[in-house]
Chains A and B, each alone.
Chain A
């Protein structure tokens, strides 16, 4: 596609439920990144994929968070047993050049846990 596509754009879920967030990168982009942005805060790195392997998972905040990527295509971020502190905008970005020229971000998924 022309840009990074994320779905859903908004998600409201009850505390304790599981959620899946989807990211479809720009075609041909080998690297894919997930970040989290809490209200009024900066971007917090979660996980990075090169192809379908994840060399850096250091940012995942707990074992309730997991992510996978199929080939050099779609990635899914799963949050199990959601908590109110998980409420944030989850941003996905992709790049084809190891980020030498920066990342292109999707429009994000706004997650609200009630």
Chain B
């Protein structure tokens, strides 16, 4: 049973702070990792993906991957109220067929 675990939150941060979202996964053979953002009542939209250990930066977002610890995280710098949403971690299985999603972490950024 492939599992992806996230703290449900809510994670509350003030505007301008760094938000840190974490995710662990059970399938050691997983190779690809994704972060999606989902606003209330909307469908998920892809923010970033990462394949290799280390950091990957895209604008205000940094994804971090540690395969040995089976841990992936998303940092959001200079958080804005518009970043308030649920962030879903997703892991591609080792056969590259389907994504398994965590239940998501709700982020609240206060002005």
| Contact surface of A with B, Cβ cutoff 8 Å | 33, 35, 41-43, 45, 48, 55-56, 91, 98-108
Chain B interface mostly: strand
- 8 A Cβ contacts from B18-50 to A: 32, 34, 36, 42-46, 49
Task: Check A100/B98 contact, CB under 8 A, given A105-B43, A105-B45, A108-B43.
Answer: no
Contact B44 A48 (CB under 8 A): no
Inter-chain CA distance A102–B89, complex, in Å, is 12
Subset of 27 A-B contacts with CB under 8 Å: A33-B98, A35-B101, A43-B44, A43-B88, A43-B101, A45-B98, A45-B100, A48-B97, A48-B98, A55-B97, A91-B43, A98-B96, A98-B97, A99-B32, A99-B92, A99-B96, A100-B32, A100-B96, A101-B49, A102-B34, A102-B46, A102-B90, A102-B99, A103-B99, A105-B45, A106-B43, A108-B43
Contact A42 B99 (CB under 8 A): no
| Contact surface of B with A, Cβ cutoff 8 Å | 32, 34, 36, 42-46, 49, 88, 90, 92, 96-104
How far is the CB of B88 from the nearest CB of chain A, in Å?
A: 7
Contact A107 B49 (CB under 8 A): no
Most interface-central of B45, B97, B98 (chain A CB within 10 A): B98
